[in-house]
Amino acid sequence: MAISGRSPTSVSSRSSGGHAFLPCWLDPSIPPLHPPNGVLGTLATSVQAAPATPGYYDIVAEDMSVWHVPNNFPLEHWNLAAILRYHTSNRFLRLYGGNLFELFKRYPVRYNVGSCSNRGPAVPIVYDHGDKESTKMLYGPNPRTEFEPGFITFRPINNERAAMAICSGVKPTGCHTEHYCIGGGGYFREHNEQCGDFPAFDWDRLGISQGWSASKEMREAAVLLFYR
């Protein structure tokens, strides 16, 4: 399973508790783009799509690993090339149905499902490559003031009530989660440029000040999710 890039959201309804994601310029009252049983992707195409391959909902697991791998590296070098690798170790998926499909049924990723305080679970992580300090530096100076590194967080919600899938490596303590969480839930009221899996990771653009923008390394890496 993978999340990558800034292409407009167009993924299967299996991606978040049976609710299809919507392009973020559409009103969320519009019916979903895909039929209820739609499934996207093969191993090759999943790097350009949200997690919707059969393993996403068929595998029963206890933990997960996450790798951030720079774009265009061949498969055999992903391990060494990754800018961040970590895993969970507390068997948290047993509490949420054994996989992310079941977890997101409990914490659906869709607009106006709750407020900033209604985020899903934040699970401690064990670093395989990187640490808390290097994780902080992958994000912009402004976001660093409103998250705690060392976690993976599910279904964060921002100030405008837009939901995202995960915050990779961090636990929000503030509500500007579009700058450091990924997997947009389809509708972002603030700005239509927040379409895609990395909603506002390049908010302040290159060549100005980093501000709210994530690092180039983070923005140009795919996020690979593995069950354990």
Render pLDDT for 37-95 as a digit per residue (tens, 0 to 9).
Answer: 333 333 344 444 444 567 778 899 999 999 999 988 888 999 999 999 999 999 999 99
Please give the residue that has the higher pLDDT: either 74 or 195: 74
Report residue 201's pLDDT band, with 50, 70 and 90 as the boundaries. Answer: low
Residue 133 has pLDDT above 90, yes or no: yes
pLDDT at 193: 54
The encoded tokens of residue 67 equal 């790798």
pLDDT at 202: 65
Q: What is the mean pLDDT of residues 208-227?
A: 79
Residue 121 has pLDDT above 90, yes or no: yes
Chain centroid, CA 28 distance in Å: 20
How far is Cα 38 from Cα 53, in angstroms, rounded to an integer?
A: 10
Asked whether the beta carbons of 62 and 99 are under 8 A apart, the reply is no
How far is Cα 31 from Cα 87, in angstroms, rounded to an integer?
A: 36
Report residue 1's pLDDT band, with 50, 70 and 90 as the boundaries. Answer: low
Non-local (6+) Cβ contacts of 87 within 8 A are 63, 64, 65, 66, 125, 126, 128, 228
pTM to 2 decimal places = 0.75
Q: What is the mean pLDDT of residues 170-176?
A: 93
Report residue 14's pLDDT band, with 50, 70 and 90 as the boundaries. Answer: very low
Q: What is the mean pLDDT of residues 138-157?
A: 93
pLDDT at 180: 85
Q: Mean of the per-residue pLDDT values for the chain? A: 75
pLDDT at 162: 84
